[in-house]
Structure formats: C-alpha cells, structure tokens
A = this chain, B = another copy of it.
Amino acid sequence: MSPAQDDLDIAALLERGRTLAAPVLRAAVDRLAAPMDTVAAYHFGWIDAEGRPSAGDGGKAVRPALALLSAEVPGSPPEVGVPGAVAVELVHNFSLLHDDLMDGDEQRRHRDTVWKVHGPAQAILVGDALFALANEILLESGSVEGGRAARRLASASRKLIDGQAQDLAFEHRDRVTVQECLQMEGNKTGALLACAVSIGAVLGGADEATADTLEEYGHHLGLAFQAVDDLLGIWGDPEATGKQAWSDLRQRKKSLPVVAALAAEGPAARRLAELLAADAKARAALGEESADFDEAEFALRAELIEEAGGRTWTADEARRQHARALTVLDRVAMPDRVRRNLVALADFVVVRQK
C-alpha cells in the first residue's frame, strides 16, 4: 500500500466517524437546557463566541472512527457503533471541558476555551451534562448490549478521572518515575481509547472476551497516542498543533520525555534537574505567574531533554506500544478489511503531526 493510499484510507475512516456521529451528537446537545446547548455548541466548534455558525475544527476524531470500526469486528454494520462513538466523544469532551478549567488552559484547537469565554460555572456544568448524556445515549435503547457498553464506559470514565487526578498530583511533586507517568497516561488516555475500540464491538454483539482483547489493543494504542502527544507537546509545530511552541514545558508538565530524561544518567539529565528545581523554587516563592522567563530557557530545556535521551526514549516507547497493539490485534478474529483499517489507524496514530 503506497503512502498516498494510506493517507486516503485514514482520511476516509476519520471522515466516516465524523459524518455518522455528527447528527446524533448534535441531537444530543440540543436536549440540553439553555444556555448549556449554546455553550456546548461553542465547545464543539459549531458556533463562535458570538453565536455565529462556524466550521470549526472538531479535532482528529480518532475515537469515533475506532468505535465504528469496532462494530464491524463481529460483522455488524458500522452504524451499530454510532451510540458508542457518540458516548465516547461526549466523555472525551466532558474531560476536556473540566481539564482545561482545572489546568487553567486558555486555548484549545486555536480557540479560547469554554471557561475563558463562558466562565468556570458553565465549563463545569456543560461538562457534567455531556457526561450524563453519554450514559443516556447508551442506555436509552434498553438493550442488554447498551448496558454492557455503559458498564465499559463507566469504568473507562473513572480511570480517565483517576488519570487526571494523578496528573494534577504530579505537578506538586519533584520527581515522577517513568512507570508512574505511564500508569497515569494509561488511565488518562489509554482507558477511553480502549473503550472506543471495544464499545462498538459490544453494541455489535461481540462477546466479553473479544471486547477485552480489543480493549487491550486500544490500551496500547492509547499509550502510543499519548507518547506522540508528549513529543508534539514539546517539539510539535505550533502551526499544526494549535499550541504554543514548547507548550508542555511552559505548563511544567511532567510528560514522558521529561521524566525519561530525568531518569537518565549524565550531565544533561543533571543540568535539567537543576534547572527544573530552580524553576520550582522560584515559582513557589514568587507565584506561578511571576516566575516566567525568556524563550531561550525553554529552548535550552528542550535541548537538554533531547540530549539526555528523553526524546528518543519516548519515540521508541510509541513504537513499542504500537507494536504491542498490533500483536494483540492478531488474537481477534475479524474481516480482513476491518483488520487492515485498525492497523492503518494504529500507524496513523504514531506518525501524525498534530
């Protein structure tokens, strides 16, 4: 398969997920009491801050694409996975709304975040509403499959929240081990991606063992996805990612490249540790806002992380998790075309630039 062919397939897969999920997602949001419907429409990029229709960037939409593909694993049509795709998107966006507020992030997908535009109360409330909607959508059919799907979503949601709690706790700690970071990322990113890959299959009639194995594939895929995210968070092109250069370093995130670099031996790791300790001390003394400094310092940190091997380790980790995901996939019987697409999506996750 040529690279051009790959690109085409991925674009079509992502587009199919967006297209099939969109009307159900919009109908779900329309159920919300005012002004939550408007705030949610802003968050999803359907309208701008003044309420005018907008052709916003709805994100990569990897999760809906996975949910629809997963319905095809047991031989059902992709449409059967739509409530799962929508529910997972709703939970993902519930977590974005709350995380942006907790983290104080002012921008997402090149736009002001909801709490910046509509205030903290609306960010909390609309996040809550999307979470509730996700459960409603899976359960309202009253089917046994809907209940099984909702159980997987509830468990994934709780892991997601655990992961955010761990991420917040790491901010207040001097050292975080690579293992702790991987566990946090497995919760924060892996669990919901894993759920996306199993939820369609459950709705499509797959047994629990098949769904569990698909979740295992999704868990490794999620870890690969997050490792790439962590690389893009430091070395990503701001034009492509929609975030500032060295975004994760500005936010003092203890992401994989940072913790891997700190865990290494040698002068670069030591120098990096010194810089971060001095920074933490200055921020503790002066307050988070007042201890900022020039761009050259971020460039230096990024260089030291690379020199200490944090960048290479993280890229290798993305490839390791990608390989594990594909190995697990071999254990599940499915139509060839579905398998090729799940492999292609896994490939996309590790080569993407945003």
Contacts and interface: CB of A to CB of B under 8 A. Distances in A.
A170 B136 CA distance: 26
Interface stretch (A53-61, A147-155, A254-262, A299-307): A147-155
- The number of times this chain is found in the oligomer is 2
Contacts of A31: 158
Interface residues of A, number: 44
Interface stretch (A4-12, A124-132, A336-344): A124-132
A147 B143 CA distance: 8
Contacts of A102: 120-121, 124-125
Nearest to A102: B121
A189 to B, nearest CB: 15
A165 interface: yes
Contacts of A187: 33
Interface string A111-145: 00000000011001101110111011001101010
A127 B164 CA distance: 13
Nearest to A160: B132
A162 interface: yes
Contacts of A168: 121, 125
A142 B151 contact: yes
- Most chain B beta-carbon neighbours within 10 Å: one of A31, A146, A147: A147
Contact of A155 (B32, B121, B136): B136
A247 interface: no
Interface of A: 31-36, 94, 98, 101-102, 120-121, 124-125, 127-129, 131-133, 135-136, 139-140, 142, 144, 146-148, 150-151, 153-155, 157-158, 161-162, 164-166, 168-169, 187
